Amino acid sequence: MKIGFIGLGTLGREIAKRLISQGVELIIWNRSKEKAKQLELELVETPKDLISMVDKVFIIVSDSEASKKVIFGKDGLVEGDIQGKTIIDLTTNHYRYVVEAEKELKQKGAYYLEAPLLGSVIPAQRGELTVLVGGDQNKFEEAKDIFEKFCRNMIYLGEIGKATKLKLINNIVLGGYMAVLAEAMAIGEKAGLEKELLLEVLSNGAGRSYVLEVKKQKLLEEKFEPHFSVELMYKDLHYAQDLFKDFKAFSMVLQNVKEVYGFARSKDLGHLDFSVVYKIFKTE
């Protein structure tokens, strides 16, 4: 089984490695050739070349602008032999973009699945991600055997756009939880409570969460190697704000949460794991 793969960032690299370990042959296009060479994978010059060699291409890039570039830009996928092919976009995109992408690809005789992921590096390594899928159901069924190699849960949501909206809503909760946890930890320490005690009590009380479990070590050691960066969280919350605007929904929390990550970016922490906001509350 040969599939195309675009995007070897923090999460993309782990998914690619997981697929290889499960016997999937990958043909890669990546903006940085060095990252592909590190994995000793077959590398092509452009996305246009890639689509001519496979029936399915998985994309996982930073945002909708990057996705648009590799699909519709110069030497993009649409400039190759795309008729009848399936583009599976794992990127957390803007919900308006995925609707337009599917529409444009359908006009060119191709298929587009939105497939944003829940989980980051460790679940990817274990094959335990959750994928939310929207788009043509038959194409989803055809891609299931690949999803199963790196995802524990597959949730099909039907029409395009729903999966991306749900992912953004999930990340409102994720970003908000981490901001509140970081603030609570910081005031606890300033009040004379030990970090270890705070984490123990929160883990067994109101703060109990899968997120706390996987981020506990980062908070203890204050080592914030990125699994999911501040930049990506900020971008997702920015996209999520448009949901409130489009649906004229009342909001008092999201803007404040987004500003926490915006402040971290202004302190040159954007490349680090989003749990680094703990340092902001601790030091400011």
Picking from 19, 21, 106, 99, the residue whose alpha carbon sits closest to that of residue 60 is 19
Q: What pLDDT is attached to residue 284?
A: 87
How confident is the model at residue 36, as a pLDDT? Answer: 78
Handedness of CA 57, 235, 171, 211 (dihedral sign): positive
Pick the closest to residue 93 from 129, 46, 134, 122 (CA basis). 134
33 versus 77: the higher-pLDDT residue is 77
pLDDT per residue over 190-225, tens digit each? 999 999 999 999 999 999 999 999 999 999 999 999
Q: What is the pLDDT of residues 239-267, one digit of tens each?
A: 999 999 999 999 999 999 999 999 999 99
Residue among 99, 57, 51, 56 nearest 78 (CA): 51
Could you tell me the pLDDT band of residue 30, with boundaries at 50, 70 and 90? very high
Region 112-138 average pLDDT: 98
Does 167 participate in catalysis according to the annotation? yes
Q: What is the pLDDT of residue 1?
A: 74
Indicate the pLDDT class of residue 42, thresholds 50, 70 and 90.
confident
pLDDT of residue 35: 76
Torsion of CA 187, 191, 196, 197, to 10 degrees: -110
Q: What is the mean pLDDT of the chain?
A: 96
**What pLDDT sits at residue 32?**
82
Same fold: 2-158 with 164-283: no
Residue 216 CA: distances (Å) to CA of 1, 268, 273: 38, 23, 13
Q: Which CATH class is domain 164-283?
A: mainly alpha
Q: Which CATH number fits domain 2-158: 3.20.20.70, 3.40.50.720, 3.90.230.10, 3.30.70.1150?
A: 3.40.50.720
Angle between helices 95-107 and 230-246 (to 10 degrees): 80
Domain assignments of the chain as residue spans, ordered by start:
2-158, 164-283
Query: In the prediction, which pLDDT does 39 show?
Result: 81
Residue 38 has pLDDT above 90, yes or no: no
Question: Could you report the per-residue pLDDT of 99-120, keeping only the tens digit for each?
Answer: 999 999 999 999 999 999 999 9
Here the tokens at position 123 are 């679940």
Q: pTM higher than 0.85, yes or no?
A: yes
SS3 labels along the chain: CEEEEECCCHHHHHHHHHHHHCCCEEEEECCCHHHHHHCCCEECCCHHHHHCCCCEEEECCCCHHHHHHHHHCCCCHHHCCCCCCEEEECCCCCHHHHHHHHHHHHHCCCEEEECCEECCHHHHHHCCEEEEEECCHHHHHHHHHHHCCCEEEEEECCCCCHHHHHHHHHHHHHHHHHHHHHHHHHHHHHCCCCHHHHHHHHHHCCCCCHHHHHHHHHHHHCCCCCCCEHHHHHHHHHHHHHHHHHCCCCCCCHHHHHHHHHHHHHCCCCCCEHHHHHHHHHHC
Catalytic site residue from 56, 85, 165, 167: 167
pLDDT at residue number 57: 99
